[in-house]
Amino acid sequence: RMPSCLLKLTRVVLSHRLWALFILIFVFVSFAYHKLYWGMWEDPKSRGPPYSLSAEISCAHYVPSSLNIAAGPSPSTGNVFFVETSEQITPSYLFSCSVESAARTHPGSRVVVLMKGLAKENASLPKHWAFSLLSCFPNVEMRPLDLTELFSGTPLKRWYLRPLRHWEPHFLPVLSDACRIVLMWKFGGIYLDTDFIVLKNLENLTNALGIQDYDVLNGAFLSFKPKHKFMELCMQDFVQNYNGWVWGHQGPELLTHVFKKWCSIQTIKSMSCKGVSALAPEVVYPIPWQDWKKLFEAVSALELRKLLKNTHAVHIWNKLSHGTKLEIPSQALLAQLYSQFCPATYTKMKQD
């Protein structure tokens, strides 16, 4: 026999069939909607890795109050340029750190990030945590990269418009080499690759580039006044001695060749010649590319200070290091650089 309470409930349901049916349908539909909605968002297959998720950033949370994010930049003393020549619009942690560290060390300059993948006109930025985070800095400007407009009025315009150019094996890095030379000639300021962490203000390093290692200059950092003759010679050499099939020919090899010709020398060393400086490796390339694994090795705070005593920025050699796992937090040299010089990005890394 059924308990008396269950028997009474059955009689009530039978006497109010329509209402009971309505309630059952409502509960079923609600349950199905709930499962469908959350299933869409919680299915691991429908999610990318943490760095590609859309996100809104709270500036107050990620940017310490000690940095005056409400005030705009003071009268500009020049631009700091970053360039992304691919269609990529999901910046990495290192990309974000590069821009953040430059913005913090150059509060009076515009930090201009030119990205080929950004829509032209006045379209809003893509929904990605890095764009939200970097927008917290009043001196950072994210802009679309219009290559035809950039190269107009320079010897590189005809080079860029040749259709078969895009099929060359190293086209994107060569395109990046072209952009930095033209930016320096047209506008002047500072150019940095997106795998630099900036430690100090770079504005006192004028008309300068860095020695990568013995007898080789690198263009990952450039600092020149606009319309400088050295950059004009680099543009001319880019076109006249062009070879897009050899890695580095339009980058380090070009800069090294032009500097040797500029100074009438056979071997490059730390020096200044006719107003252009070749900076010692420790200034912007303190870790040689051959020793890039040192970035992932633990160092004490004292060792770090000693290593970076005469350093303004650290090149991370992302082409070599990008696949290496970095423990966060840790005493690894690179982790300490993130922590000290791009703390907002570092906070996001720890969260993810």
* Domains identified in the chain and CATH numbers: 76-280 (3.90.550.20)
pLDDT tens track for 248-290: 999 999 999 999 999 999 999 999 999 999 999 999 999 999 9
Q: Which pLDDT does position 70 carry in this prediction? A: 41
- Interval 201-218 mean pLDDT: 96
**Residue 82 is which amino acid?**
F
- Contacts of 110 by beta carbon, 8 Å cutoff, 6+ apart: 73, 76, 79, 80, 139, 141
pLDDT at 46: 29
Q: According to DSSP H, which parts of 43-170 are helical?
A: 59-62, 93-105, 129-134, 147-151, 156-161
pLDDT at 287: 96
Q: Which helix (H) or strand (E) holds 278?
A: strand 276-279
Please, where are the H alpha helices in the chain? Answer: 4-15, 17-42, 59-62, 93-105, 129-134, 147-151, 156-161, 171-186, 229-240, 252-263, 281-284, 301-307, 318-321, 333-341, 343-351
Percent of the chain with pLDDT over 70: 80
Give 107's Cβ-side CA count (13 Å radius): 8
Q: What are the tens digits of pLDDT across the range 159-171?
A: 999 877 778 889 9
Q: Is the pLDDT of residue 15 over 80?
A: no
- Report the predicted TM-score, pTM, of the whole model to 2 decimal places: 0.81
Reported residue count of the chain is 352
The yes-or-no verdict on residue 31 having pLDDT over 60 is no
**Per-residue confidence (pLDDT) for residue 123, from 0 to 100:** 74
Predicted confidence band of residue 18 (pLDDT cuts 50, 70, 90): low
Distance CA 345, CA 348 (A): 5
**Which residue, 191, 182, 189, is CA-closest to 218?**
191
Note the pLDDT of residue 324. 96
pLDDT band with cut points at 50, 70 and 90 for residue 230 = very high
